[in-house]
Amino acid sequence: MPSPILDIVARAATSTDLFTLADISAVRNWDYSLPTLTKSNRFTERKPWTSSSSFQAAFDETYPFLKDIKLDHLALVGGTVLGFLTGCHSSKDLDLYVVTDQPNLADAAAFGHDRVQQFIHDVYTFMSTSNDALRKLQGEKQKTKPEFKVASDKFYQLDRFRVRRVRNVYTVEVPQLHTHALRAIHLCTTPHATLPHLLQRADIMGIAYYEGDVHFTELAKFCFENLCFVVDGSLATSPTYIDRVIKYFDRGFDVILPALAIANVRTANFEYNLSEVIALPQLLIVVNQVKGNKVSALTLRKPPSAATTDATSLEIVQPKNMTPDAVALHNIACLVHNTLDGLIVDGDGPLYANSFRPRPYIPEHLLVKTYETVRASVYTADRHLSLRQLAKYFTVDKPSAMFHRLVLAYVASREEDTISRGGVIDAGFDHHVETTLDAMVHEQIQAAKAKLAALEATRATSTTDDEEATIMKANPEAFFGAYFRAP
């Protein structure tokens, strides 16, 4: 008889049913009727919740700067909500999504952009107003007590307020009181007609804090009650998805694998207190015991091939350091490679609204300054030539041709004269690389200026991710490989 959880999974993509904390059962009812990854003797505690009032109190205590900010039409989704519910909150980032609650809204895209920009404006205004009130208080007090001064850690450091936008996703770095730390808030302007429509797109657990209440999809309710989640291989996976599967497992959640062929799992090593490995194409599971459908896993990790791919990829990714210099380097790399969807539009401090512009501002003098910085990283003082930096910032020719200009051409010109002396890299090599690189920098700056002129002549459009296209079905047989069996 098929497990009821399979029916719940089948309904997940279309169901509009939502549940609240009042609907959560205190009793776990998962019977391990399907293969499940767990840990030996693991029992993860789950905080008892009966209403959202205590959740809201915990949220306000952790994010006090949001207590007086309107969050209407903004749903908090992701690990932050789950972290509060399980009592193991560790995520510093907030993920907010726009919910219009108007299925027939004529210009939903404009609504989404306006709502996100209003939120950013409200946060900055709240902090600025708080600082103004403290300065006013200080001025009043100093009329009678000239030595009075408000402690500096009671002021928001507004110069550290940063906003970055890539396509339709804003990242806001918010300074905190009494600490040098920043809180990151990610806001997606893509509008969702209803909260169920948004949560149907959750790939692990559809939970949201919205309009003062915590909401669960039917599948998320089951998963939260039983502290587990389902990986059936039907969703197109990505490295970040696998990373989150591993993270959730490490934080105490069991993993239900409906299509895992238990009979194919080797167990011979268990007799000698040694572990075995379930080698799925995208996930390695180190196990030390199998009892029925319970698979005791020591660790989950990505296979070496995935790690190697991540490390060697030349894909232009967003910098972790979101300083203006880092953003400028990133934007110029995107510009010269025509990866315009990766451009970061930024605004700092009182100029935060610059991030609302349709495209980043890249003046010509910034191109020159950037390539002066890049040049030093391509060929360093200790004579290290970075092919990665060369390929990332130079597009005047193919990487192989540029390497030929920098190295092989010189070697070819010198090998006949120097072979008798046992080497081709002589004192003139550094001069050759330096002068050749100078010429390439000049060529690249001219090429970048041309691309910049073409970009500025093109009408900017408001780009919104097509979320329907990003949710693609995958083949469970490919995910489970040799360990696949039809559930």
86, 182, 252, 290 from 90: Cα distances, Å: 11, 14, 14, 31
Q: What is the pLDDT of residues 202-250, one digit of tens each?
A: 888 899 999 999 999 999 999 999 999 999 988 756 668 899 899 999 9
For residue 413, the model assigns a pLDDT of 81
Which residues face 346 on adjacent strands?
Answer: 164
- Please compute the mean of the pLDDT values over residues 96-101 and round it to a whole number: 97
Tell me how crowded residue 394 is: count the other CB atoms within 10 A of its CB.
23
For residue 87, the model assigns a pLDDT of 78
For residue 119, the model assigns a pLDDT of 98
Dump strand ranges (E) for 138-202. Answer: 162-166, 169-175, 182-192
Q: What is the pLDDT of residues 130-165, one digit of tens each?
A: 999 999 999 999 999 999 999 999 999 999 999 999
Q: Rounded to the nearest 5°, which phi and psi values hold at 49? A: -125, 135
Q: Under 8 Å CB-to-CB from 341, ≥6 apart: which residues? A: 166, 167, 463
- CA–CA dist 224, 25 (Å, integer): 9
pLDDT beyond 60 at 471: no
Most confident of 36-45, 54-63, 98-107, 412-421: 98-107
Query: Vertex 328, ends 324 and 333: CA angle to 5°?
Result: 150
For residue 313, the model assigns a pLDDT of 46
Average confidence score pLDDT of the chain: 88
pLDDT beyond 50 at 311: no
- CA–CA dist 204, 45 (Å, integer): 20
pLDDT beyond 90 at 79: no
Could you tell me which residue, 1 or 211, shows the higher pLDDT? 211
> Residue 73: helix, strand or coil by DSSP?
coil
Q: Residue 343: name the closest of 357, 353, 457 by CA.
A: 357
DSSP per-residue codes, 420-464: GGT-S--THHHHHHHHHHHHHHHHHHHHHHHHHHHHHHSPP----
- CA–CA dist 133, 139 (Å, integer): 10
Please give the order of strands across the beta sheet that includes 213-217. 18-19, 213-217, 207-210, 74-77, 93-99, 182-192, 169-175, 162-166, 344-348
Tell me how crowded residue 74 is: count the other CB atoms within 10 A of its CB.
21
pLDDT beyond 90 at 464: no
Could you tell me which residue, 90 or 218, shows the higher pLDDT? 218
pLDDT beyond 50 at 72: yes
Percent of the chain with pLDDT over 70: 90
Tokens linked to 450: 């041309």
Tell me how crowded residue 229 is: count the other CB atoms within 10 A of its CB.
21
Q: Residue 79: name the closest of 257, 203, 236 by CA.
A: 203
For residue 416, the model assigns a pLDDT of 66
Per DSSP, 282 falls in state: S
Distance from the first to the final alpha carbon of the chain: 10
Q: Residue 52: name the closest of 223, 212, 221, 206 by CA.
A: 212
For residue 472, the model assigns a pLDDT of 54
- Cite the DSSP H helix spans in 31-105: 53-62, 79-86
- Please compute the mean of the pLDDT values over residues 254-272 and round it to a whole number: 96
Residue showing tokens 């909260």: 195
Half-sphere exposure of 112 (CA within 13 A, CB side): 26
Specify the pairing of strand 228-230 against strand 254-256: parallel
- Please compute the mean of the pLDDT values over residues 172-188 and round it to a whole number: 92
Q: Is the Cβ–Cβ distance between 234 and 473 less than 8 Å? A: yes
For residue 469, the model assigns a pLDDT of 38
Q: Report residue 466's pLDDT band, with 50, 70 and 90 as the boundaries.
A: very low
> Residue 116: helix, strand or coil by DSSP?
helix
Q: Rounded to the nearest 5°, which phi and psi values hold at 239? A: -55, -35
pLDDT beyond 70 at 316: no
- Which of 91-100, 455-464, 470-479 is the least confident region? 455-464
For residue 49, the model assigns a pLDDT of 77
- Please compute the mean of the pLDDT values over residues 327-353 and round it to a whole number: 93
Q: Report residue 382's pLDDT band, with 50, 70 and 90 as the boundaries.
A: confident
Q: What is the pLDDT of residues 432-453, one digit of tens each?
A: 999 999 999 999 999 999 998 9
pLDDT beyond 80 at 400: yes
Cα 190–chain centre separation: 16
Q: Report residue 88's pLDDT band, with 50, 70 and 90 as the boundaries.
A: confident
